[in-house]
Structure 1
Amino acid sequence: MFVRRLRGFDRPTFARALPRAAVALALSSTILAVETHKAAAFEIFGIRLWGSSKEDDADVVDPLDYAVTFEVDTTDDDLRKAIENASLLKGEEERPVSGSLGLLAKARNDRERLVAALFSKAHYDGVVNISIAGKNLDDLAPDAVFDGPQPIPVSVTVQPGSMFTLGDVVLKGDAANIRGADFGLIAGGNAASDAILKAEAGIVRALKEEGRPLAKVTSRTIVADHATTTLDVTLDVAAGPIAGYGETTVEGTEAVDRDFTVYMTGLERGRQYSPKEIDEARNRLLALEVFSSVSINEALALNPAGEIPIDVRVSERKMRYFGAGATFSNTEGAGFEGYWGHRNLFGRAEKLRISGSIGRISDTTELSKLNYNAGIMFEKPGVIGPASKFFANAKVSFEHPDAYDIFSVKGNTGISYELDRRQTVSAALAVDYSDIEDALNPEGKRYLLVSTPLQYAFDNRDDKLNPTRGFRALAYIEPTYDALNGNAFVKLKGEGSAYYGLGDQNRFVLAGRVAMGSILGAGLDDVPADRRFYSGGGGSVRGYAYQGIGPEIGGKPTGGLSYAETSVEIRYAFNDKIGIVPFIDAGTVSAKQFPDFGAVKVGAGIGVRYLTPFGPLRVDVAVPLNPGPGDPSYGFYAGVGQAF
């Protein structure tokens, strides 16, 4: 049997006798150096607003242009795309390099990247050839000069070869009793370098979850059998001792108090080490929003007390910020918001945010009928442990939706607490003074509400801005007493949403939402109009007007004591930026305490999503499928974020 160990560096048959150095590149998560470019022009959402692309290259010394011919001998589109995406020569073809040495360096770097891409797809006998100006890269002198006419021709050809599968899998050392199959290491299984790295990380993680912070793979032997296209893998793993946390040190803090940062990690000295707690500590520090990056690393050795010291390194963000936002709907008009905030008011990640907004622009021509809001918010983390947060809010509103006219002053204060990474509870005390005119109280009525909102939330979504897996559930109860009118009622709400991605890249995501609510203990006219339930509009049943679903008096919505809504979306991503979303929504509002589902309204439509780092930009168009006499013929909605 012909067996080839992956070592040596046979230049003429580079990818047939793949070098151990190349395998190490693919199997050790090495970060490759890439060229960086100073951006002199300004772009937003991938659209250049000013400046030319040439400005980006103004600082390149001795710029040299080149043109790439790229060939991949395969009919596998996924493999072809992975190889092409790995090539910086191809991806940055329009950017000049810094002279002949820059082109040579980029070509050599590209060859390593292409080999790593082949390994990541389990192709260990591929051939990568790169030539510059008609000469093979290996035949060029280290100081070769390309002084011919530009662009310099560059040719890249890739023959992927065969796809390998796993052969013999041997786990040695402290991993000898671990089943490789539990981590995907099984004869005939996936031999991709990514899969092997993932299995290694899983084995080490499993040992660390036993409280062993020094667990690691001490050696790795990879043998490719070209005759059988199999890859034999031998891993030697050292578990190390069980240990508790030692001292936690922090570097990188300037404006943020260092001791507070240590406290917020929650890594109590002496408690048994847990990689899950390390992850939670990192997420908790990032959630403070005062750090742009957080890394938490265990020391390489235990201290004399047998504990593992923890090193935290952070980079601080700018603490002051301001911004603006806008929304638009043909049924609700346009809205604008401005805000100013401070992320670190007193040095311990205290947040202060002041905001104001105007709504219903273009929906009315009377300034007195626009919606006006102003508010201030304060948060202080870590008041009763790292997982807690104190909050206080105050808001003044003067609004004129279709259902009512309201002037209100509201304030609340409370505490939220993370039971774990997925579960959060909160409790608050709220006071709300309002003066409201609506269909049931046309002369106006004043209220002074004192309530205690309580909430439980479960959230295991993989991405809060654009989820592809997981679900979110929320339960809300708010006992309320009206001190001016002597009424009491309890508001109950429940909501759940689920997400399921299809395919390796989650190109299709099925998303669904259900929500229900009920108000108990008071009649419809005793509940303030802004506390009743409404449905319709961009955040609920698209295709209908805001508050357009439910009981009416004289054509004016009254709201209800109960509601139910559901939505289903199929989110399809054309590429990494653009997506299309067909959807259907349904909802009902009832004057009774429980939904009777006697008048369910249904809307359907399609939307476009443009993905940005701060969430998808959303544009939806919907039509009502069973419209009433006063319903619009269609609804148009634009904003930031998915519908749910």
Structure 2
Amino acid sequence: MGLCLAAAGFVLAGPLSVGEAHAFKLFGINFFGKSDEEQAAAEISDPVPYAVTIDAPGADEDLTEALQNASQLYQEREQPASGDLGLVIRARDDRERLLAALYEQARYGGVVDMTIDGQSIDSLPPIPDFPRGQPIPVVVHVTPGPVFSVGKVKLTGDIAGSDPAAYDLAPGRRADSTVILKAGRQAVDDLKQTAHPFAKMTERQAVADHSNDTVDVTLGAESGPKATFGTVGVTGTKRMNPEFVARYSRLDTRKPYSPEELRKAQERLRALGVFSSISVKEGTALDSLGGLPLTIEVSEGKQRYFGVGANYSSADGFGAQAYWGHRNLFGEAESLRIEGEVSRLGIKDVTDFDYSAGITYVEPGAFGPPTSFTASLKAAALDPEGYTAKTVTGLGMASYELNDTDTVSAGVEVAWATIEDAFGNRDYLTPSLPIEFIRDARDDKLNPKSGYRASLAIKPSYEIYGQTPFVSTEGSITGYRGFGTKESTVLAARLAAGIVGGGDDTLDDIPATRRFFLGGGGTVRGYAYQEISPVNAKGDELGGRSYVNVNLEARIGVTETISVVPFIDAATVSAKAVPDFNDIRAGAGIGVRYNTGFGPIRVDVALPLNPYPGGTRYGIYAGIGQTF
């Protein structure tokens, strides 16, 4: 909750300014000063207030909304016109907009008539003079006319012989003007996707036949020469190596030209975090090898950054993070990040907090453009309910992008830990060979509405002091499905499971930090962090060798920025390597999301449906980003 209050304070401070020029507003409500409309009216010379009525007999809800959205008179009805002539100009401009709105709704026989103060706008004198004292009545009368459908479709040039349905122009469908325009753009785009960068429209006609309410459409396109990607130049770099930029874009390959590859290249370069702007300019002619020259234009952003973050749970207290980073150490987007975190602050009767600190180095394109290398060193002092531990972990990891969605990673990890738990005090030294596969097919990494993400991680390990080999395996799949207008409601689900095999089937040979403990904001809300665990006869938490975790959410959009999220979480943690499902713990609740440009702000309230005796009775969680 502390985070949300801080965010609200930032929003409150934003609109406040010195003087009386602007009102203080909170969530659209004026508390003092002039409103935006009053301020605008004060700046208009000779303001002429008016009252507009749009009369469209027989119009359905969609058409009525389209007419209102197209009408400047209607959209700016709270703002006076500038003089009598300004009102007439606004009305005449509106007629064209309203006719365009009718065409967009396939109403090619529609008629728009307008009167101002009872006079048709076509019969008004050059310099009108309307009576003052009250708003001038403006009446817009729209006769929508019939809905036209697509009639004959003729495709010429290099799209001759194509199926009109491929361009959404199947005869008989509604002939919205937007559909016809989109068909022309799609025809050109389709030709460009077949390696023809100079494809263009040669003909586009739409003829309405009022005798049978149809529109005959003619589209023609010319593909031009076929091309590959040519030489790649780079401009705008300062500290970045331009040769690296060209190489990392993966455009300098002489592969067939593709607009999709250009888009991916820009996304790839943007993901480096080095550039504030990126664009790719195409040449106007092919080179001697049939390649299209390209120029990548970039503008470098700030190299150093720092920040702080916070989270809150009623069961686990406050957490705070701070970090500093550098995005471009040696000119090829090598990044360095130093961070620290403290958590479990503010919990009653808890004086031993959790601490962690680490340094991470990432080198993109380390072994070629599709690869990256990550090295990190992290130290932590942890004190959850089940154990206390001091750990130091070093990791070196190489990743390879198999394609646009799939990434495989492998590396070497060495972890030292001194741990006190239900089995006593013990030191562990554990080298591991982590291997991970990730498929990320989400439409948005921060706030997905469709797609899915799947991962599988296998970590063969050998604990040196106890001479114990073991393997931990974890997998998860998360899916998203949007519904309704603009996918305002999103159903999200996650299934995760893990197994630790080896170690002579005893728990004490496996470091507690490698056993499974669930509960908290990231797994089962309503329970404290790592509260879900097998216990011994004394009630001490032991951790498990296996788990299964299920999460379900419905993210229901209330406004464009606010969503209400009912959810249910469930999990089981077992002492054996195969889950036995003897103890299933579930939590349910409701949350609120406030969408921002950097991800949603999250507040959740949850209750455990079957709490432990003396355990957590409710949980309140606040943070940034979706839960999963």
For Structure 1 versus Structure 2, the TM-score category normalised by the shorter chain is 0.7 to 0.9
Deviation at 1:201, TM superposition (A): 3.8
Alpha-carbon distance in structure 2 between the residues aligned to 1:321 and 1:139 = 64
* Secondary structure in 2 matching 1:505: helix
Counterpart residue number, 2:366: 383
- Residues 1:481 and 1:157: Cα distance change in structure 2 (over 3 Å): farther
User: What corresponds to 2:409 in structure 1?
Assistant: 426
1:124 to 1:641, Cα distance in 2 relative to 1, 3 A? farther
The superposition leaves residues 180-214 of structure 1 with CA deviations (integer Å, 9 ceiling, x where unpaired) of: 21232201224334433443344333333332222
- Aligned with residue 338 of structure 2, among 346, 350, 354: 354
Of the structure 1 ranges 197-206 and 126-135, higher mean CA displacement relative to structure 2 is found in 126-135
Aligned-residue identity in percent: 45
Q: 1:24-57, CA deviations, whole angstroms, 9 ceiling, x for partnerless residues?
A: xxxxxxxxxxxxxxxxxx9966985523346989
**Correspondence 1:77-476 to 2 at 5 A:** 77-86=61-70, 115-127=99-111, 160-364=144-348, 366=350, 368-441=351-424, 444-476=425-457
Shift of 1:132: 7.6
For 2:553, give the aligned amino acid. E
Code of the residue aligned with 2:511 in structure 1: it is: P
What is the one-letter code of the residue matched to 1:528? P
8 Å CA contact 1:72–1:160 kept in 2: the answer is no
Are 2:575 and 1:591 aligned? yes
Pairwise CA RMSD:
3.4
Instruction: Give the match for residue 28 of structure 1.
Output: none
> Per the alignment, in what secondary structure is the counterpart of residue 180 of structure 2?
helix
Equivalence for 2:29: none
The one-letter amino acid paired with 1:541 is V
Residue 238 of structure 1 and its aligned partner are, at CA, apart by 0.9
Q: Secondary structure at the match of 1:542?
A: coil
- Specify the SS of the correspondent of 2:378: strand
1:481 to 455, 462, 482: 462
Do the aligned partners of 2:360 and 2:376 also contact (CA within 8 Å) in 1? yes
2:493 to 512, 524, 528: 512
The question of whether the paired residues in 2 share the 8 Å contact of 1:422 and 1:458 is answered with yes
Give how far 1:301 is off: 3.1
Distance 1:144 1:641, change over 3 A: farther
Distance 1:238 1:353, change over 3 A: same
- Over residues 392-447 of structure 1, what are the superposed CA-to-partner deviations in whole Å (9 max), with x where a residue is unaligned? 22222222222222222222122222111111111222222222222233xx3222
**What does residue 50 of structure 1 align with?**
16
In the TM superposition, 1:514-529 aligns within 5 A as 514-522=495-503, 523-529=506-512
- Find the aligned partners of 1:322 and 1:294 in 2 and give their Cα distance: 23
Once residues 335 and 183 of structure 1 are traced to their aligned partners in structure 2, the CA distance between those partners, rounded to angstroms, is 53
Match of 1:516, SS state, is strand
Query: Contact (CA 8 Å) 1:43, 1:50: kept in 2 or not?
Result: no
Deviation at 1:333, TM superposition (A): 1.2
Q: In the aligned structure 1, how far is the partner of 2:129 from the partner of 2:516?
A: 74
Residues 435 and 458 in structure 2, CA contact (< 8 A), matched pair in contact too: yes
Residue in structure 2 matching 1:537, options 520, 526, 529: 520
DSSP 3-state at the match of 1:526: coil
Q: Which runs of 5 or more residues in structure 1 are unaligned?
A: 1-41
Distance across 2 between alignment mates of 1:333 and 1:433: 27
SS at match of 1:525: coil
8 Å Cα contact 2:40-2:79 kept in structure 1: no
Distance 1:294 1:153 in 2: 50
Q: Cα distance, 1:117 vs. partner?
A: 4.4
Of the structure 1 ranges 517-526 and 308-317, higher mean CA displacement relative to structure 2 is found in: 308-317
Give, in angstroms, the shift of residue 147 of structure 1.
Answer: 12
Contact 1:62 1:99 in 2 (8 A): no
Normalised to the residue count of structure 2, the TM-score between the two structures is 0.85
Unaligned stretches of 5+ residues in structure 2: 1-7, 24-33
1:438-484 Cα deviation digits (max 9, x unpaired)? 2233xx32222211211111111111222121111111111122233
- The answer to whether the 8 A contact 1:62-1:98 is kept is no
Q: CA deviation at 1:95?
A: 7.4
Q: Secondary structure at the match of 2:190?
A: helix
1:349, 1:380 within 8 Å by CA — same for their partners in 2? yes
CA shift for structure 1 position 249 = 2.6
Write the distance in 2 (CA, Å) between the matches of 1:340 and 1:408.
22
- Decide which of 608, 620, 624 is 1:624's aligned counterpart: 608
Please identify, of 504-513 and 310-319, the stretch whose mean Cα deviation from structure 2 is larger: 310-319
Tell me the equivalent position of 1:636.
620
SS of 2:460's partner is: strand
For 1:557, what is the secondary structure of its paired residue? coil
Instruction: Give the partner amino acid of 1:50.
Output: L
**Distance in 2 between residues matched to 1:311 and 1:97, nearest whole Å:** 47
Equivalent residue of 1:455, what SS?
strand
Q: Report deviation, 1:134.
A: 7.9
Q: Taking structure 1 as reference, are residues 56 and 281 closer, same or farther at Cα in structure 2, changes over 3 Å only?
A: farther
When normalised by structure 1's length, the TM-score is: 0.83
